[in-house]
Structure 1
Amino acid sequence: MKMNKYNEKVITVMNEIDFSGNVLVKRNNDLLQQHSNGFANRTHEILINEQTRFGIASGCKIFTAVAICQLVEKGQLSFESKLPEILGIPFPRFDPAITIHHLLTHTAGIPDYFDEEVMEDFAELWVEKPMYLMRNGRDFLPLFQHERMKMAVGERFHYNNAGYILLGLVVEQLSGMGFDEYVTENIFKRAGMEQSGYFELDALPSNTALGYIKKDDGSWKSNIYSVPVKGGADGGAFVTAEDMQRFWHALMTFELLGEAMTQRLLTPYIHTDDDYDRFYGYGVWIDKTGDCISKYHVMGYDPGVSFHSAYYPETGLISVVCSNKSEGAFDVFKEIENI
């Protein structure tokens, strides 16, 4: 790829923050930026390359939303279906009025197993419930199933991982498939995302980046004891930067959902931030400028993971920034937007 001043600006930011990860920017089929930097494995000094897989944490909630929308298209449920009508699992303190729409838009009011409004360290969750036991959605239920509602249904936006755990269980119940199997067959394969999957940390495939956390003394440790051993409906898939670009392309060309259902997914349902003109659709953040949508984007953060990716409808541009550090993706992502 020919170097230009815009590439140089991104590389400068990457060097300034010691970025570790992959950067990809495309418009239609034109490659505008592609950079790799850092180590996929620090112990063995294995360098990151263009096809390295990265964990993307909550960046994959949009896959869960697409899966639900596919089931709605098939007539297996509706967005107004009530949670007790779909799942044969008791939630004794939950409001029976909770719908699929509420879960998708983080407005269900249910308690979260990791409440970002009051908790800071994700790794603290696994002191009493070891992360190596967390291999499917049902494993998370004891963390919130019997808790009382945090707020009234539909009261306000409250980012909620537990809601997406429940959506994953809905996908399993209606499809008769494991959640990861359903997404692989009906989203990844249809979008040409051949390198992506929900891999277990104790059985990672080749060319997969380990996540790294910086210790107080400046050294690094992997995140294998800080996140669930296997991702699911609320986060934790692994993708390559090119596969994520393929996902956006497949979504926007109606290869995953019909045009009408794609618009349902991408509708700005609820305002999320008083400081920004930012909304939430189904599994996707949506930025507006006036009456126009300027950006659809997803992001994810875990210990040892930072990820940002966006589709800009006015230009058709797609950006993907994957990192195997807890921070860094946002700085590079913003520099891409600046130029």
Structure 2
Amino acid sequence: MNKQLSWNNLIEKQQELQFSGSIHLRKKGKTILSDSYGYANHSEKIENQTNTRFSIASGSKIFTAIAICKLVEEEKITFDTKIVDCLNIKFPYFDENITIHHLLTHTSGVPDYFDEEEMDDFEMLWERLPMYRVRSAKDFLPLFQYEKMQAEAGGSFKYNNTGYIILGLIVESISGMDFASYIEKNIFQPAGMSESGYFSMDELPGNAAIGYIEKPDGTWKSNVFSLPAKGGPDGGAYVTAPDIGMFWDALMNNRLLSEKMAQSLLTPREKVADDIFYGYGGYMELNEQGVVKYIQMGYDPGVNYRSVFYPDLDLIIVVCSNKSESAYEMLIEIESLIVNK
């Protein structure tokens, strides 16, 4: 297929979806495409740029996992360390045998503060706890600390946000640092992610996209009252699409973890679907030969994110959006043009 025709197809897909955000493609350490669409700020008509910062919701869980792996590497904890042995916080109804491994693999059985099978509206959470009070990992405790287990520890995979809040509390307890500061010092800086960080929504830096939610009448509102005031261990970091490209390069070239520990992070551990598994570092698609691609995703009101890394192709695709939908569809279109052609 003619290359220009291929990219014309991508533009047509963006227009069809009214996709708002940035895309970044990187192969063998070199950028092959960075582009942006739509508005970072609708009311001011400020357009998204390749260096626009986007929230990536749960896409930032991998940073929490890497932080834990670094502490394991430093022999300060192990994957078999129990919550009760590294946190001085009471969870009266939690199984005392829950380990860091259980938390990383979503098999801990702890009560999920946002259980998508029970709630379909993230904004419902803030009826109990005002979102403007949630700016650190400990601020989430009232949402789950005194709740009962939802499943047995060590059971089957069930996606769980609470587990990653607890992992963030462990990072803080063991390292003696604020969670966001730990991630910025030990992951963002070594990876060269100079534009990325955990920012309060009422104190966003320059070049940060506002998230937008479509209303029933087709108009838009911002997500400022829909999410915690500041992201944390289970999601909510702000990144640029090129920064995620550099993140994958740093991770895969052992600049964040040793080769052995990076392999531990990326090993498939829990089966999610026929060809989809979950490791310490997120989802991955497998075939008979091994890992086809590593998959990162994030969904929040006004936030949509997808990123994949194809190890055999040394190919990174990043799609960040400041709307609730369309990142996945853009990713599929890109893959059809450069992977599945």
TM value normalised by structure 1? 0.97
Conservation of the 8 A alpha-carbon contact between 1:297 and 1:310: yes
Conservation of the 8 A alpha-carbon contact between 2:212 and 2:221: yes
Cα distance in 2 for partners of 1:22, 1:309 equals 12
Tell me, yes or no, if structure 1 residue 220 matches structure 2 residue 228: no
User: Number of residue pairs matched?
Assistant: 336
Cα distance in 2 for partners of 1:26, 1:12 equals 22
Cα deviation for residue 116 of structure 1 reads: 1.4
Cα distance in 2 for partners of 1:131, 1:171 equals 23
Cα deviation for residue 10 of structure 1 reads: 1.6
- C-alpha RMSD of matched pairs (Å): 1.1
Secondary structure of 1:118's counterpart equals coil
Cα distance in 1 for partners of 2:231, 2:315 equals 28
Partner of 1:317: 315
Partner of 2:191: 191
Cα distance in 2 for partners of 1:10, 1:297 equals 21
Which whole-Å deviations, capped at 9, do the CAs of 1:175-207 have from their partners, x for residues lacking one?
110000000000000000000000000000001
Cα distance in 2 for partners of 1:105, 1:20 equals 32
Conservation of the 8 A alpha-carbon contact between 2:29 and 2:249: no
Conservation of the 8 A alpha-carbon contact between 1:7 and 1:33: no
Partner of 2:278: 280
Partner of 1:328: 326
Secondary structure of 2:246's counterpart equals helix
Partner of 1:260: 260
Cα distance in 1 for partners of 2:219, 2:157 equals 38
Cα distance in 2 for partners of 1:31, 1:235 equals 26
Conservation of the 8 A alpha-carbon contact between 1:116 and 1:159: no
Partner of 2:294: 296
Secondary structure of 1:35's counterpart equals strand
Conservation of the 8 A alpha-carbon contact between 1:94 and 1:149: yes
Partner of 1:31: 31
Which whole-Å deviations, capped at 9, do the CAs of 1:231-286 have from their partners, x for residues lacking one?
0000000000010000000000000000000000000000012xx31000113111
Partner of 2:68: 68
Which whole-Å deviations, capped at 9, do the CAs of 1:99-150 have from their partners, x for residues lacking one?
0000000000110100112211111111221111100011111111111111
Partner of 2:171: 171
Tell me, yes or no, if structure 1 residue 161 matches structure 2 residue 165: no
- Within 5 Å, give how 1:11-50 maps onto structure 2: 11-50=11-50
Secondary structure of 2:272's counterpart equals strand
Cα distance in 2 for partners of 1:154, 1:9 equals 46
Conservation of the 8 A alpha-carbon contact between 2:291 and 2:311: yes
Which whole-Å deviations, capped at 9, do the CAs of 1:63-103 have from their partners, x for residues lacking one?
00000000000000000001100101011110011000000
Conservation of the 8 A alpha-carbon contact between 2:61 and 2:233: yes
The gaps in structure 1 that reach 5 residues or longer are none
Letter aligned with residue 230 of structure 2? K
Cα distance in 1 for partners of 2:201, 2:228 equals 8
Cα distance in 1 for partners of 2:6, 2:260 equals 37
Conservation of the 8 A alpha-carbon contact between 2:34 and 2:242: no
Cα distance in 1 for partners of 2:144, 2:50 equals 39
Cα deviation for residue 168 of structure 1 reads: 0.2
Partner of 2:56: 56
The gaps in structure 2 that reach 5 residues or longer are none
Which whole-Å deviations, capped at 9, do the CAs of 1:303-326 have from their partners, x for residues lacking one?
000000011011000000000000
Cα distance in 2 for partners of 1:21, 1:191 equals 22
- Within 5 Å, give how 1:9-158 maps onto structure 2: 9-158=9-158
Secondary structure of 1:202's counterpart equals coil
Letter aligned with residue 257 of structure 2? L
Conservation of the 8 A alpha-carbon contact between 1:132 and 1:229: yes
TM value normalised by structure 2? 0.97
Cα deviation for residue 3 of structure 1 reads: 6.3
Cα distance in 1 for partners of 2:68, 2:333 equals 34
Deviates more, 1:100-109 or 1:122-131: 122-131
Identity level (%): 52
